[in-house]
Amino acid sequence: MVSETIFSEISAEIDDLAEIMESVRSVTDANWTVNSPVVNLLDEYIHHVFIETLGKIDFEISRFQKNLDTAERVKFVDGWRQLHLQLSILQKKEMHFQKKHCLTPTHLKSQDSSELLLVRLGQMKKFFQSKMFIDVQKSQSLKKFSEPTAALAACIAGISAAVLQQVGNPDFYQLGLQGASLIFFAMGLYAIRDRLKDFAKSFLNKRISKYVPDFEYELKEKDVQIGHIKEWLKTVRTMELPEIIRHRRKSASVSEAESYLKEDVLFLKRVYCLAPKSKGKDNPLSLQENLRINLQRYLKFLDDPMKDITILDQKGRFTRKTSHKMYYFYALVNYSAKENGVDTQKQMQLYRVVLNKNGIQKVIDCTGAC
């Protein structure tokens, strides 16, 4: 049943929401925030959130109104009209911020603009709502016990060897407490030595891997070796990358939020060494390589390729803009060539790969944005 109190309660909640927005805007519109990229980004994000919220309220009110019978709809016509009027006033106020952030239907007329907006919204959501998220780290339970079980196994092996060695000794059964303690102490040292050996091996392998390639390939032509390739492949943290690489990556960002979001970095380094006789002036040699990345296992976890955005039209009414849901990843190619230890060529190119659930849609050259 519909009663007069329902309209007053809904109206009060809308007023409370508008009051919260006014409080937030009193900060984001302050003079000291003019040159703050993060505050401007926050202002854009709360505009989207507010428009989406008002749009859902308007949709639910209209849906509830349509489900009523004619008598109740006519009886409370003034109440419905007052709610829609209250929403329309807030919508017209938001048109100012929509123009401020270039988010009008005119600005979003092209498909590229609406796709870019969805990417920015996703980044802003991750950035401003990051406190609501929980980092989940997956690990195998048995790995927690790998070190203790390895040490225990070493102790058992040592004790077993000592027992088998002494079992033939006539004085074995007369072994006192002091002798047994000495044996257990020796076994403990044996276990520690065994674990230190494994730790040293792992440490040295990690250090050497910086200089020794993970893979090596030979280049042959008609059974004649013309060179070889050394390859390193690993994941690194963003802060481990050279400053120039981080600067290039930031230059291609589509929002300020990207600087604060975590990224997975896959580092691939290849060194091509060609035999001197294959690079002569009379016998020039050029290589062309195609790098293939299989993204199939990742594509199936992406969202649906289409998504709706709520915006305001020229008259301040709600309208829906349907756009493709895209994801970005970046490929930076740092190329250099040396001859006799001297650099002959240097080149760095940055590409933005745009993909959705259906696969890669396009590749954008972002080198000029640097």
Mean pLDDT, 10 residues at a time, over the chain (370 residues)?
Answer: 77 92 88 81 92 91 81 78 90 91 87 89 87 70 64 65 56 51 61 70 76 85 84 88 89 89 89 70 69 82 84 88 89 84 83 89 82
DSSP secondary structure letters along 52-77: HHHHHHHHHHHHHHHTS-HHHHHHTH
Same domain? For 241 and 362 the reply is yes
Asked if 254 contacts 123 with a C-beta cutoff of 8 angstroms, the reply is yes
- The domain boundary, picked from 156, 190, 208, lies at 208
C-alpha–C-alpha distance, residues 14 and 8, integer Å: 10
262 in a domain, yes or no?
yes
For residue 183, count CB atoms less than 10 angstroms from its CB and return exposed for 0-12, middle for 13-18, buried for 19 or more. Answer: middle
Same domain? For 303 and 344 the reply is yes
For residue 261, count CB atoms less than 10 angstroms from its CB and return exposed for 0-12, middle for 13-18, buried for 19 or more. Answer: middle
117 in a domain, yes or no?
no
What are the pLDDT digits (tens) for 138-173? 666 666 666 666 666 666 666 666 555 555 555 554
Asked if 194 contacts 151 with a C-beta cutoff of 8 angstroms, the reply is yes
Same domain? For 80 and 156 the reply is no
Distances (CA, A) of 11 to 18, 72, 165, 362: 11, 19, 89, 47
Same domain? For 162 and 201 the reply is yes
Same domain? For 204 and 257 the reply is no
107 in a domain, yes or no?
no
218 in a domain, yes or no?
no
- The pLDDT of residue 177 is 46
157 in a domain, yes or no?
yes
- The pLDDT of residue 350 is 93
pTM of the model: 0.70
Same domain? For 170 and 80 the reply is no
- The domain boundary, picked from 187, 208, 229, lies at 208
Based on the structure, what is the number of domains in the chain? 3
Same domain? For 246 and 361 the reply is yes
Same domain? For 356 and 260 the reply is yes
Same domain? For 311 and 354 the reply is yes
Same domain? For 244 and 355 the reply is yes
Same domain? For 244 and 338 the reply is yes
- The domain boundary, picked from 101, 129, 163, lies at 101
88 in a domain, yes or no?
yes
- The pLDDT of residue 90 is 92
216 in a domain, yes or no?
no
Q: Cβ of 170: how many Cβ atoms within 10 Å?
A: 6
Residue-number span of the structural domain to which 302 is assigned = 237-274+289-369
- The pLDDT of residue 169 is 56
161 in a domain, yes or no?
yes
Same domain? For 193 and 254 the reply is no
